[in-house]
């Protein structure tokens, strides 16, 4: 069976039924926690990022498979985000909700606004619901008008958009004013919004973000991105995030395709190629990708989203230059690793959060929680189907 058929089978017969089984018919949205033992916690917090990612997943699954049941799932996620996730008094999307839709954490984070835009734009494409596009545009202006300083996007705010400590997107013992991760997903969201709406101001901001990646985020000496920054984009930590680099490579390429600007394609394309080859040479061991390296010390666990983005990133690298057949072989080897070790074989489960380099499971990590979602692995399946690059 070829890779396209296999990932389509994984999407249709495993991922979609799993996430549909978490639909909350009483309170809306989808249950926010399934622990490692596969117990669903029906009254757990519902993260708005998780809900946005589920909305994105079902909208794009519908666009890929044309099954109207998927559009109904997307509508269910959309109505929960619309009715409960958006702060109608002060604007923007909350960080999280209680199981019944009441606000749980009223932090407003730029990252969270971006994922709502990403999801709403895709849902508009699937449903042609003008209200969804209007909400996406509203959140775009929230980011542009309320989340900026003189250097770029600030990240963490209270409910009234007063700045607070950016603990939610900072890791590794530091607190960052700006992060590569948030900027990447603003770019991703704006790419999708521009694709469906062709707004000139969105296009202008996409180009500005590309300039920031080129001049502030990308480190040409190390051929990687820096991750955590102060307010002036000074790097705070020697950290090589392999998964983010391979994800960035193909997301920037997607943005370039949507923009259609030849000058940016030439300039940013060189960065894309360098990110891809650096990850391949530095972090890929022949079957899977390490997580990251801090101060040269490698974290070798295999995280679900990193492995999913690796497959897409290496297929994208091959499509950019089909003489680079090692990328296609790497994508196939990664998929074989995922099938054998990362996809949970237990009934009623999905992918494991993370495993050791040898494939042994890291237990007690949830199967579903506010960050564990169908966005990375579901998107991988849909990207392989869409791109039509098959491997026997």
Q: What is the pLDDT of residue 1?
A: 67
Length of the chain counted residue by residue: 392
User: Which parts of 262-380 are beta strand (E)?
Assistant: 292-294, 297-299, 302-303, 354-355
Reduced to 3 states, what is the DSSP secondary structure of residue 143?
helix
Q: What is the pLDDT of residue 392?
A: 62
Domain membership of residue 303 (yes or no) is: yes
Q: What is the pLDDT of residue 390?
A: 79
* 8 Å CB contact between 108 and 158: yes
203: tokens are: 């296009």
Q: How far apart are CA 392 and CA 76, in angstroms?
A: 37
User: What pTM value is reported for the model?
Assistant: 0.98
Domain membership of residue 179 (yes or no) is: yes
Q: For the chain, how many structural domains are there in total? A: 1
Cα–Cα nearest to 283, from 326, 312, 240, 237: 240
Which DSSP letter does residue 342 get?
Answer: I
Reduced to 3 states, what is the DSSP secondary structure of residue 28?
coil
Q: How far apart are CA 172 and CA 114, in angstroms?
A: 23
Domain membership of residue 52 (yes or no) is: yes
Which residue has tokens 């699954």?
Answer: 61
b/e for 315-348, b at 16 or more Cβ within 10 A?
A: bbbbbbeeebeebbebbbbbbebbeebbbbeeee
Domain membership of residue 392 (yes or no) is: no
Domain membership of residue 148 (yes or no) is: yes
The end-to-end CA distance of the chain, in Å, is 7
Domain membership of residue 380 (yes or no) is: yes
Domain that holds residue 336: 3-387
Q: What is the pLDDT of residue 229?
A: 98
Domain membership of residue 56 (yes or no) is: yes
What is the CATH number for 47? 1.50.10.10
b/e for 109-123, b at 16 or more Cβ within 10 A?
A: bbbbbbbbbbbbbbb
Q: How far apart are CA 233 and CA 379, in angstroms?
A: 30
36: tokens are: 């490692």
Residue spans of the chain under pLDDT 70: 1, 392
Domain membership of residue 102 (yes or no) is: yes
Cα–Cα nearest to 244, from 290, 286, 206: 290
* 8 Å CB contact between 307 and 342: yes
CA-CA distances (angstroms) from residue 65 to 72, 169, 222, 229?
Answer: 13, 34, 41, 40
Q: How far apart are CA 30 and CA 271, in angstroms?
A: 38
């Amino acid at each position: 069976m070829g890779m396209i058929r296999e990932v389509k089978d994984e999407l249709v017969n495993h991922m979609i039924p799993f996430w549909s089984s978490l639909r909350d018919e009483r309170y809306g949205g989808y249950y926010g926690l399934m622990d490692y033992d596969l117990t669903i916690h029906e009254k757990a917090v519902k993260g708005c990022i998780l809900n946005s990612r589920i909305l994105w997943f079902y909208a794009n699954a519908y666009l890929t498979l044309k099954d109207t049941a998927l559009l109904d799932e997307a509508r269910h996620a959309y109505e929960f985000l619309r009715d409960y996730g958006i702060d109608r008094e002060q604007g923007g999307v909350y960080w999280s909700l209680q199981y019944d839709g009441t606000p749980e954490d009223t932090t407003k984070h730029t990252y969270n606004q971006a994922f709502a835009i990403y999801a709403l734009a895709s849902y508009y494409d699937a449903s042609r619901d003008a209200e969804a596009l209007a909400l996406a545009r509203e959140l775009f202006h929230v980011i542009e008008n309320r989340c900026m300083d003189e250097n770029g996007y600030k990240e963490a705010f209270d409910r009234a958009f007063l700045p607070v400590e950016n603990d939610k997107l900072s890791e590794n013992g530091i607190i960052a004013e700006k992060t590569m991760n948030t900027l990447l997903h603003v770019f991703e969201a704006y790419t999708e919004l521009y694709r469906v709406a062709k707004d000139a101001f969105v296009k202008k901001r996409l180009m500005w973000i590309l300039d920031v990646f080129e001049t502030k985020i990308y480190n040409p000496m190390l051929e990687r991105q820096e991750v955590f920054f102060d307010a002036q984009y000074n790097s705070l930590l020697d950290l090589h995030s392999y998964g983010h680099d391979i994800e960035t490579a193909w997301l920037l390429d997607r943005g370039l395709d949507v923009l259609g600007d030849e000058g940016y394609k030439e300039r940013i394309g060189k960065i894309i190629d360098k990110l891809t080859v650096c990850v391949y040479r530095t972090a890929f061991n022949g079957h899977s990708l390490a997580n990251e390296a801090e101060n040269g010390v490698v974290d070798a666990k295999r995280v679900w989203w990193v492995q999913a983005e690796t497959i897409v990133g290496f297929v994208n690298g091959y499509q950019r230059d089909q003489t680079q057949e090692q990328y296609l072989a790497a994508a196939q080897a990664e998929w074989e690793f995922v099938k054998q070790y990362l996809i949970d074989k237990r009934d009623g489960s999905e992918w494991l959060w993370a495993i050791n380099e040898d494939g042994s499971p890291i237990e007690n990590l949830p199967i579903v929680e506010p960050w564990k979602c169908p966005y990375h692995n579901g998107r991988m399946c849909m990207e392989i189907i869409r791109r039509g690059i098959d491997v026997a």
